[in-house]
Amino acid sequence: MVLFLTARDQTNQFRKFSCQLDKLEVAFEFLSDIVAKGSTLLQVYIVDEGKRTELPLAIFDGEPFMAAMQELEKEWQTLLSEPAMSTSLHETLLIPLIQHRARQFETKIANYQKLISRLEQLLERTQKNFSAGPIKSRVISQYESMISRNQVWLIKAQISYQLILSRLSQLSA
């Protein structure tokens, strides 16, 4: 598998890069690390067995992938090693937990929306009140970056929330 990427670094220079990788998880970790160090991904794709696959840029937010993937693998290994519960008992225990998780996501979504709204207000105020110059450009760029990052996190939370609601309706039926 070959990873190709185009990024803009902190000095606004465009960088093109490609490398051979054995695992997709390693590629994800590598891309997230690039974002964490301040570069902006502009295009990312993988060519594997002659097929090109574009990767969505929004998922690379600077947060590590490997730890989450390893934790998920541990959870699956634990689940696979435990004896299965009866379905009714399992559902009885699971429904309150899922309802609690749904409430947590509702709160998380509301907080992201408030934060984004506040950042947008600050951005607008900066655009109106600051005089033109490098400081204004940096502040605007920082606010735009923070808004973008929080919008990605909001979308992830909304998707997770919808999945939780879907699972809850399956269990309740």
Q: What is the pLDDT of residues 125-155, one digit of tens each?
A: 999 988 888 888 889 999 999 999 999 999 9
Residue 80: the pLDDT is 80
Measure the CA dihedral 48/49/54/58, to 10°.
Answer: -30
Q: Read off the pLDDT band of 168 (50, 70, 90).
A: confident
pTM of the predicted model as reported, rounded to 2 decimal places: 0.48
